[in-house]
Structure 1
Amino acid sequence: MDTMIEILKYIQSFSNPFLDSFFELVTMLGENIFFIAVIAVFYWCFNKTFGYKLAFVYLTSGAFNTIIKEIVKFPRPIGYEGIRSSRIKTAGGYSFPSGHTQQASSLFITLMMEFRKKWLYIIGVLGMLFVGLSRMYLGVHWPTDVIGGLMIGILWTITVVKIFDWSKDREDPALLGVLVIPMMICLLLIKTATYYKAVGALTAMWAGYLIEDKYIHYVTKAVWWKQLIKLVVGLLGIILIRVYIKMLLPLSIYSDFFRYALMGLWMTLLSPIVYRICKIEERETLKNVEN
């Protein structure tokens, strides 16, 4: 423990206003808002299948991270003498492994596996390392948390991508139940808001995936201004559900599950229906798909 404290003190010895702002910004690459935006852009506008894949990696990784934290129950460095902790609002729950580092690893590894570009490898590696460093610089995670988050994020992502590709090759999204169902069962054991949010969104995404794949057949391609409308309408819907539905529900983990499930359904199923009704979907492309 003394060694880890000294490492954090050494990292923070370089503190200055520029680095404070820089690492506050970098750490956001491991937060929900950033992931939702990235998944939304891919799912609504460019590549529906990859959007699904990215969502499943992100949500299962987040749920698995919470399970490990609840088992290990390792305290954070917050409050230790000589360690300055900031952006504490992003540091909920236990310390090991670092959720931000794990989620950033999940995002960048998925992108690297999908697109296999040298420039993306460089950005991905730097992104993962800098997010991990930001958590130590901000004094909310130990070095072991960051290393654990990095390793678990990489291994978990590779596993989930393989499972997703397997279900896609068999043209049966129901096979993703091997990931979703065990995590639904763990709702009986893991009674935290973070876990209920992740599994709520995951369950709804899976249900939306099954229904959309069979009945909706949403088409992502459209002219640029229609893409922009889709993003504005879609993200506005997510914000309304996340912020305003919360005001209507009692504070509980079950309300969190419902709210995030509604967000998952909106993203995968309800918003595509809205786009089709409002004729935002590209008609010529849709006709070609149907024919």
Structure 2
Amino acid sequence: MQRESLVDRLALAATALLLVSPALAYLTGLWVPYWRLVTMLGYEEAYVALAVIVYVALSPQLGYYMLLSLLTSAWVNAYLKNTLALPRPPPEQWKVQETGYGFPSGHAQVSTSFWSTASLKLRRASLAVLSATLVALISISRLELGVHYPRDVAGGVLIGLAVALASYYLAGWLLRADKRAAFTATLLYSLLVATLYLIQPDATILKAAGVLAGASLYPLVKDKVKPSPSVARRTALTALALAVALALTQLAKTASPPAQLATYLAISLVIIATPLAHSKQR
């Protein structure tokens, strides 16, 4: 009970700081740099780091839920953007450099899916408020930086919510199903996503397919991946997994499409396998 109360207090304190942060940025003359910093929370590297921290340091099961939602939202967004091909605002309005089409906003959609899934799984009001605040700030950053129209952000949030709900129930079903059936279903899902690359050759689709393929192992090992009671051990393993995952992310940027798929599979395997070290050392 004390731990839950501490989590609530920390979440509410973080929410309060986030809510006043735009005003502080305005008063200190750091308005544009502030929104550039906020928008970085919606980039790939941020989600790789968050996925590692949640899965390895906090809760493998929560990490699995959030990872499945993140990956589903990522490929859905890439596919929709390239299919609809709706433009961004004129480049002269941009305060950061971007590529690709505008609708739906990937930042708005993926952040909504990622954080909404956490709220659905944890069912704590304080964390739901924190999640909503993060999504709102990330979404607003895309408008303030001039790289999206309001329709892009609104559409991204709505689609992100739909993906979060679908992913939440999918993850729950997979974890209740027979282990081998869940493994097979997730692996087939990753292969289906990979085939979409043939229709819309966007690297995000291949990356999502690679991580999904690795994540298919989680149902097989879920009973063995329990965080160690040692905070020092969890911290060390998290730092190690984080360093490897981020290094592989950078390596993949200049790789060929097949190599990107393989690299993101490796990233997923690092994330999924690291908590097994807890069990071996207990």
The residue that corresponds to 2:40 in the other structure is 28
Q: Percent identity?
A: 23
Whole-Å Cα distance in 2 between the matches of residues 240 and 120 of structure 1? 30
**Which segment drifts farther, 115-124 or 53-62?**
115-124
Aligned residues: 254
- Structure 1 unaligned residues grouped into runs of 5+: 1-13, 284-291
Whole-Å Cα distance in 1 between the matches of residues 269 and 187 of structure 2? 17
Whole-Å Cα distance in 2 between the matches of residues 15 and 62 of structure 1? 35
- Structure 2 unaligned residues grouped into runs of 5+: 1-25
Whole-Å Cα distance in 1 between the matches of residues 165 and 158 of structure 2? 11
Q: Residue 218 of structure 1 contacts residue 272 of structure 1 at CA under 8 Å; is this kept in 2?
A: yes
Under a length normalisation based on structure 2, what TM-score does the superposition of the two structures give? 0.81
The residue that corresponds to 1:93 in the other structure is 100
* Largest Rg, 1 or 2: 1
Q: Write out aligned runs for 1:240-259 (5 A).
A: 240-243=247-250, 245-246=251-252, 251-259=255-263
Q: Secondary structure at the match of 1:188?
A: coil
Whole-Å Cα distance in 1 between the matches of residues 164 and 190 of structure 2? 15
Q: 1:268 and 2:272 equivalent?
A: yes
Q: Write out aligned runs for 1:165-180 (5 A).
A: 165-172=172-179, 173-174=182-183, 175-177=185-187, 179-180=189-190
Whole-Å Cα distance in 2 between the matches of residues 143 and 153 of structure 1? 15
Whole-Å Cα distance in 2 between the matches of residues 257 and 15 of structure 1? 45
Whole-Å Cα distance in 2 between the matches of residues 37 and 199 of structure 1? 18
**What's the CA shift string for 1:109-146, capped at 9, x where partnerless?**
11211122222222222222221111011011111100
1:222 pairs with one of 220, 229, 236: 229
The residue that corresponds to 1:288 in the other structure is none
Q: Write out aligned runs for 1:111-126 (5 A).
A: 111-126=118-133
Whole-Å Cα distance in 1 between the matches of residues 29 and 205 of structure 2? 34
Whole-Å Cα distance in 2 between the matches of residues 118 and 272 of structure 1? 28
Under a length normalisation based on structure 1, what TM-score does the superposition of the two structures give? 0.79
Which one-letter code corresponds to 1:38 in the other structure?
Answer: L
Q: Write out aligned runs for 1:65-80 (5 A).
A: 65-79=77-91
C-alpha RMSD over aligned residues = 2.4
1:236 pairs with one of 239, 243, 247: 243
